[in-house]
Amino acid sequence: MTIRYPNGKVYTPKTPITKTEKTEKMEKEKDFSFSNRGKTLEDEIDEANAYYLNRQLAVIHKKPVPVQIVKVEYPSRSAAVIREAYFRTPSTTDYNGVWNGYYIDFDAKETSSKTSFPLKNIHTHQMTHMQKVTEQLGVAFILMRFSTLERYFIVPYEVLQKAWCAMEKGERKSIPLTQIEQEAYEIPTSYYPRIDYLNVLQQFIESKD
Nearest C-alpha neighbor of 162 from the set 206, 185, 131: 131
CA–CA separation, 188 and 57 (whole Å): 19
Site string for its own copies, 140-179 (x = CB under 8 A): ----------------------------------------
148 is in an annotated binding site: no
Residue 101 contacts its own copies per CB under 8 A: yes
Helix (H, G, I), strand (E, B) or coil at 116: strand
Residue 66 contacts its own copies per CB under 8 A: yes
Residue 114 contacts its own copies per CB under 8 A: no
Least distance from its own copies to the Cβ atom of residue 148, Å: 29
CA–CA separation, 151 and 186 (whole Å): 8
Contact window for its own copies (CB under 8 A) among 35-43, 113-121, 126-134, 185-193? 126-134
Residue 55 contacts its own copies per CB under 8 A: no
Q: Which of 121, 138, 204, 205 binds its own copies (CB under 8 A)?
A: 138
**N- to C-terminal Cα distance for the chain?**
66
CA–CA separation, 33 and 7 (whole Å): 46
92 is in an annotated binding site: yes
Positions in 24-53 near its own copies (CB under 8 A): 53
Under a CB-based contact definition with an 8 Å cutoff, are residues 177 and 208 in contact? Answer: no
Q: What residues contact 146, with CB distance under 8 A and at least 6 apart?
A: 110, 111, 113, 114, 117, 152, 153, 177
Residue 75 contacts its own copies per CB under 8 A: no
Helix (H, G, I), strand (E, B) or coil at 128: helix
124 is in an annotated binding site: no
At 70, give phi and psi (nearest 5°).
-110, -40
Contact window for its own copies (CB under 8 A) among 32-40, 90-98, 165-173, 191-199? 90-98
Chain positions contacting its own copies, by CB under 8 A: 53, 56, 58-59, 61, 63-67, 69, 79-88, 90-92, 96-103, 105, 129, 132-133, 135-138
Annotated binding site for Mg(2+): 92, 94, 107, 126
Annotated binding site: 92, 94, 107, 126
